[in-house]
Amino acid sequence: MNEIPILMKLAFIGLGAIGKPMSERLIDNGYELNLYQRNKQRIDDNRKYFVDPIEAVTDCDGLLICVTDDHAVESVLFGDNGVVETLKPNSFVIDFSTISPNKSISIHKKLGKKNILYVDCPVSGGTEGAQNGSLSLFVGASKKQCLSFEHIFEVLGKSINFFNGVGKGQQVKALNQILVAGTYAAVAEAMELGKSLDLPMDDVVTALKVGAANSWPLENRSKAMLIDKHPLGFKLELHHKDLSIAIDLAKSINIDLPIASRVKEIEQRLIHDGLGELDISVLHRYISGAKKEA
C-alpha cells in the first residue's frame, strides 16, 4: 500500500450508511478529515464535524462525496450553499455516489474549468464492505490521474478498478446493479420455494454455495430472507434508484432490460408498502406475499 501523501487534508460529505464507515476508515488510517453533518446531534469529540459545508471544505486538498443521487451531488457542489467556489485550484473531488454517467460528465466539465479534478468512483459492497475496507471501486479515470490520492482507494477497497474515462465508473456500476437485481431476486425466489417445500434450508444453502448457483446474495443474505430479518447492507430504495439509472442508460442506446425492469417494478411495489428503507434482501417479501395472495 502506498503511503499517505504528506499533510493531505480532506473533507467528507455524506455520512450515511456507506459514507460514515468509509470516513471512519480513513481517519483510522491517518487522514485528517473534516466531516460535514447537517446538525450537531451525535457529535464525537474525537472527530472534526462542521454544520456548514463551506467551512468543512475550506483549505482542503480534496473533497470526498457519498450522497444519494444526481440532485444531492449537484446541491453539494453548486447549490445555494454549494462548495464549488471554496474548493482550491488543483484540488480534487472523488464522488463515491451512484449517479447518472451524464451527470458525472457534466460535473467533470464544470470543475475542470476551475482546475479541479472530478473523479466518479461509485462503490459496491454494502455496509460490510465499507466497514471492512473491502469495497469494490469503479473509478472513472486513469490510474495516472489518481496517483496523488490512490492511497485513499487502497484504504477503502480491495478491488480498485480504473476505467480511464469520466462517467465510465458510473456505467460499470450500472452493470453491477443489473446483476445485483437478478441475483437477489433469484435467491429470494429460491428461498421461498425451498421453504414452501419444507426443505432443510440451512443444509440446502450450504449445498448451493458449493456449486454454480453461488452468489454474494446467497452467501450473505439468504439467511436474512429465511428468517425475515434484514440487517442493512444497501437500502431497497437506493437500489431502485440505481436500477432506474441502468434502465435509462440502456434505453439511450435502444437496449431492453426485461429482467431488471421487472425487478424495478417489484421494488416499486415494496417501496409503496413502506419497505424502501430496508435492505434489498426484503425482495423476498414480494414472493411470499404473492404466494399468500394465490
Q: What is the CATH number of the domain that holds 254?
A: 1.10.1040.10
Angstrom distance (rounded) from CA 160 to CA 109: 24
The DSSP result for 216-273, as a single string, is: HHHHHHHHHHHHT----SSBHHHHHHHHHHHHHHHHHTT---HHHHHHHHHHHHHHHT
Q: Which three cell numbers stand for residue 90?
A: 488543483
Q: Is residue 2 one of the residues assigned to a domain?
A: no
Q: Is residue 1 part of a domain?
A: no
Q: Distance between CA 125 and CA 18 in Å, rounded?
A: 9
- Intra-chain end-to-end CA distance of the chain, in Å: 56
- The yes-or-no verdict on residue 3 having pLDDT over 60 is yes
Domain span at residue 175 reads: 171-293
Residues 116-138: tens digit of each pLDDT: 999 999 999 999 999 999 999 99
Q: pLDDT tens digit string along 168-189?
A: 999 999 999 999 999 999 999 9
Q: Give the whole-angstrom CA distance, residue 205 versus residue 215.
A: 11
Total number of domains in the chain: 2
- The answer as to whether 83 is a domain residue is yes
Same domain, 33 and 127: yes
In a domain, residue 131? The reply is yes
Reading the block at residue 250, the C-alpha cell is 440502456
Q: Based on the fold, state whether residues 248 and 128 are members of the same structural domain.
A: no
Read off the pLDDT band of 231 (50, 70, 90): confident
Q: Is there a domain that residue 255 lies in? A: yes
- Residue 210 main-chain phi, psi, to 5 deg: -85, -25
Taking the C-alpha atoms of residue 235 and residue 241, their distance in angstroms, rounded to an integer, is: 10
Burial of 164-178, coded b for 16+ CB within 10 Å and e otherwise, reads ebbbbbbbbbbebbb
Can you give the pTM of this predicted structure? 0.93
Domain boundary among 140, 165, 190: 165
Instruction: Tell me: do 209 and 76 sit in the same domain.
Output: no
What does the radius of gyration of the chain's CA atoms come to, in whole angstroms? 20
Residue 99 inside a domain? The answer is yes
**Around Cβ 202, how many Cβ atoms within 10 Å?**
11
145: CATH: 3.40.50.720
Domain boundary among 165, 184, 219: 165
